[in-house]
Amino acid sequence: MKNRVSALDLKILVSEIEKSIKGYRLQNIYSLVANNRSFLLKFSVPDSKINLVIESGFKAFLTEFQRPTEQQPTGFAVKLRKHLKTKRLTNVKQVGNDRIAVFEFSDGFYYLVLEFFSAGNILLLDENKKIMAVFRIVEKSDKNAFNYGIGEEYPLFDLSLFKSEETTEHDVNQFTKEQIVGWVLKEKELTQKKVLSINKMCFMKAAYLSSDLIQIKLKDNGVNPSASCLDLENNDELLELTAKSLNDSEMEVKKLINTPIGEVTGYIMSKKNPLYKEDEDASDVLEFIYDEFHPYEPVHKKTDKTRFEAVKGYNKTLDKFFTTIESTKKSLTRIE
């Protein structure tokens, strides 16, 4: 099951979140019962309340449902309350094409950073980007690694991120056969046990495009996504089709980003439940269960054992996906 947002997911989610709650004040922060990584942020202005769910390293989305919260907030939630409670949200941005979202409060007096790469993290920064609180302590892996220590300056974005008020533009890359040949030659130099597939290599070089989207475009152009990337060497036709597939993916991403905010149609894919038996009384067993979400239709996964559901608005897509899954364990009631 897909349980973590991709860079492309995050780009669309952040655009919707910024439009929905920019200018709102953070009324409170709660630890969720679901797990110790999850928090509920309640924002409001007169006559309007909007809630945001965040799970460190996994997801962030606006929700229309009330979730069970812990009676006692965690120490990290207490720290966030101390500094962010009643503060006005002045900006929300994604850092380039990275899986990092930054929430700016009080015109840069505080920053809340959400990291969705590796094991993920949540950090509270001051006006100088110095770390005030960190959800997960990270040990330095090598001497060049960033130190997530209190008082250290956070280096993964600069303040120019918030200078432009214009809608984020997507700089379209033009992939070439020569560029792909260079990737293949580098792969040949690596002494790895397993040779990468064409799809995997392309995704590693352009992760912001989404692995599934690249796979769809490769298939549309008659390229086997599972074929060895070494097959590309000395095969001009295959190189041409692979470059076209990547450029088609780029154009699809541009179209999604240029779609009016809140108008992106998300798709939820359900898989046939192996526990479901049609000839038995199985009223408590769902025939299909949610498995993936995407901002495009994952047509390459259409079978007689999958179903697709379209939802207008990408935050609404994730809200429906995760709320439905959680509702099998927790009782959720729609906010009045």
Is residue 256 over pLDDT 90?
yes
Residue 320 vs residue 167, higher pLDDT: 320
Burial 304-326 (b: 16+ CB within 10 A, else e): eeebeeebebbbbbbbbbbbbeb
Q: What is the spatial distance between Cα 269 and Cα 298, in angstroms, rounded to a whole number?
A: 8
Q: Which two tokens stand for residue 1?
A: 């099951």
Give which of 178, 196, 200, 176 is closest to 187, Cα–Cα.
Answer: 196
pLDDT tens readout for residues 175-215: 999 999 999 999 888 766 688 999 999 999 999 999 999 99
According to DSSP, the residues that pair with 29 across neighbouring strands are 41
User: Which residues, in sequence order, are CB contacts of 169 under 8 Å at separation 6+?
Assistant: 257
Q: Quick one: pLDDT at residue 332?
A: 40
Q: What is the Rg, in whole angstroms, of the alpha carbon atoms belonging to the chain? A: 22
pTM exceeding the 0.85 threshold for the entire prediction: yes
Structure confidence at residue 189 (pLDDT): 85
Looking at residues 285-300, what average pLDDT do you find?
94
Mean pLDDT of the region 168-176: 77
Residue 336 clears pLDDT 50, i.e. is over it:
no
Which pLDDT does position 142 carry in this prediction?
A: 61
C-alpha 34/C-alpha 154 separation (Å) is 29
Tell me: the pLDDT tens digits for 157-169?
999 999 865 545 5
pLDDT confidence of residue 24 = 98
Q: What structural domains does the chain harbor?
A: 7-162 (2.30.310.10), 177-258 (no CATH), 265-334 (no CATH)
Q: What share of the chain is helix, strand, coil (3-state, %, to 5)?
A: 30, 25, 40
Per-residue pLDDT band at 36 (split at 50, 70, 90): very high
- Quickly list DSSP for 69-124: B-SS--HHHHHHHHHHTTPBEEEEEE-TTSSEEEEEETTTTEEEEEE-STT-EEEE
E strand map for 135-264: none
Model confidence at 309: pLDDT above 70: yes
Band of residue 221 on the pLDDT scale cut at 50, 70, 90: very high
- Write out pLDDT tens, residues 93-151: 999 999 999 999 999 999 999 999 988 999 999 999 999 999 998 876 666 567 788 99
Whether the CB-CB separation of 140 and 126 falls below 8 Å is answered with no
The confidence score (pLDDT) of residue 167 equals 47
Q: Per the structure block, which two tokens stand in for 268? A: 């939820």
Residue 31 clears pLDDT 70, i.e. is over it: yes
| Phi and psi based region of residue 258 (left: phi greater than 0; alpha: psi -120 to 50; beta: remaining) | alpha
